[in-house]
Amino acid sequence: MKFREMLMASLLSLSSFGVLAESLKATQFQDQHEQAIELNAQTKWLLLSSDKASGKLVKESLDALQMTDLAAKKGLYVADVSAMPSLVTKLFAIPKMQDYPFRVGIVQESAQLDAWPRQADKVSAITLNQLEIESVEYLDSAEALQAWIGKQR
């Protein structure tokens, strides 16, 4: 009986990680300077912010780590601003992002990220292998995010 219970528990825990078997599609975004930035098979890690709180967390963490070229570390940062009114995005958010020392892939249509894992007020920190999701962590503190990024270098 114990073996059967352990087997069922294992199967249930594996099914909760079903997202790990997923792959992301190679995608091209525009960055805050209207230049192409791409998620491709060479991307090893990805940060996704979907709201103001998680975007602030990524900015704070990348600034603290003095990271200016994520692509050199095989990383990518994508900000989903689709919930923001387009006027606010154009007049305030994107001009503010233009002062960032790192590039940000900007998503204005949420459908573009439908299959991407995310949680409210948390940064999705995703490790990839040839666009296949290997792991996902949902981080809500600068310390945890900085530690996670440090492991990706």
Residue 60 confidence (pLDDT)? 97
- Position 115 scores a pLDDT of 84
Q: What is the pLDDT of residue 110?
A: 86
Neighbours of 62 (CB within 10 A): 22
Q: Where are the domains of the chain?
A: 2-152
Q: Which residue has the higher pLDDT, 68 or 7?
A: 68
5 has pLDDT over 50: no
Nearest to 123 by CA among 102, 143, 100: 143
Tens digits of residue pLDDT in 31-75: 999 999 999 999 999 999 999 999 999 999 999 999 999 999 999
Q: Which of 7-21, 121-135, 137-151 has the lowest mean pLDDT?
A: 7-21
- Find the length of the chain: 153
Tokens 């570390």 correspond to 73
Angle at 101 between CA 47 and CA 133, to 5 degrees: 15
CATH number of 2-152: 3.40.30.10
Predicted pLDDT at 47: 98
Distance of alpha carbon 112 from alpha carbon 138, whole angstroms: 20
Q: pLDDT confidence of 2, banded at 50, 70, 90? A: very low
pLDDT tens string 84-132? 999 999 999 999 999 999 999 999 998 889 889 999 999 999 999 999 9
98: left (phi over 0), alpha (psi -120 to 50) or beta: alpha
Which pTM was predicted? Answer: 0.85
